[in-house]
């Protein structure tokens, strides 16, 4: 059974009256936890796509980019997206359930937020209602305001592209401490470590973009420091 059939079965159980808690309880252990992660992105992404009043083709395309859906699974994925979009459960309940499932793996929650930001920016416009939605989900996930600002700085062109925010450190942090923060984030994003923690494959793909942003932020901080000290 493909992952999309398993996801579809889980969502059907929800629509037939089974509680969200019961469905997610069945998906707590690998490999089913990957199904729960995918459902969370689908449900939250579908509901966020409605936050600005419409679901665009670009947003659906962005969703497909996150999951790299095979052609044979496209129909099933589209059915799951539409089921999640019309599901009666509110997005806060999905967010709370996924928080409880990944509470010991905060990085998985950060990667889920990255997927949502990717979908939000697919149409080239960051709608205020999308910002409110994402802030609320981030708060439910337990992300700190600084972590949310770091995500926003990476994904939203109009946001201040602060390299210190991306590394999660204060502006003007001494270079040795900035280097430590950069190395820690690089280690957290390493695919081998993520696979060992049982992080879903979709999150590992999202981490590749995060690695690019982290390295770019470090290069900017390191370059500015060298410039300020004339190479010293």
8-53 per-position pLDDT tens digit? 777 777 767 676 677 777 777 777 777 777 777 777 877 787 666 5
| Residue 90: domain span | 3-228
Largest Cα–Cα separation, the chain? 67
Tell me the DSSP string of 107-133.
Answer: HHHHHHHHHHHHHHTTTS---HHHHHH
Position with higher pLDDT, 105 vs 176: 176
Tokens matching residue 216:
């770019």
Place 227 in a pLDDT band, splitting at 50, 70 and 90. very low
Tokens matching residue 98:
């996924």
CB-based contact 139:91 (threshold 8 Å): no
Report the distance separating Cα 109 and Cα 74, nearest Å: 25
Mean pLDDT check: name the lowest of 89-98, 107-116, 161-170, 194-203: 194-203
Over residues 183-196, the pLDDT tens digits come to: 998 888 777 776 66
Number of domains in the chain: 1
């Amino acid at each position: 059974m493909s992952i999309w059939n398993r996801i579809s079965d889980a969502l059907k159980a929800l629509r037939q009256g089974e509680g969200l808690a019961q469905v997610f309880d069945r998906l707590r252990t690998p490999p089913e936890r990957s199904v729960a992660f995918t459902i969370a992105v689908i449900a939250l992404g579908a509901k966020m796509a409605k936050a600005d009043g419409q679901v665009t083709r670009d947003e659906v395309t962005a969703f497909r980019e996150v999951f790299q859906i095979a052609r044979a699974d496209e129909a099933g994925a589209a059915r799951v997206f539409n089921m999640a979009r019309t599901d009666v459960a509110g997005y806060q309940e999905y967010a709370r359930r996924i928080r409880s499932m990944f509470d010991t793996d905060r990085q998985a929650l950060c990667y889920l937020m990255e997927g949502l930001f990717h979908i939000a920016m697919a149409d080239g416009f960051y709608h205020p209602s999308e910002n409110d939605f994402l802030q609320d989900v981030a708060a439910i996930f337990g992300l700190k305001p600084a972590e949310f600002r770091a995500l926003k700085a990476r994904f939203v062109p109009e946001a201040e592209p602060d390299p210190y925010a991306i590394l999660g450190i204060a502006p003007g942090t001494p270079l040795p401490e900035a280097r430590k923060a950069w190395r820690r984030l690089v280690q957290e994003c390493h695919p081998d470590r993520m696979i060992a923690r049982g992080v879903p494959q979709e999150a590992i793909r999202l981490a590749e973009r995060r690695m690019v942003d982290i390295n770019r932020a470090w290069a900017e901080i390191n370059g500015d420091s060298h410039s300020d000290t004339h190479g010293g």
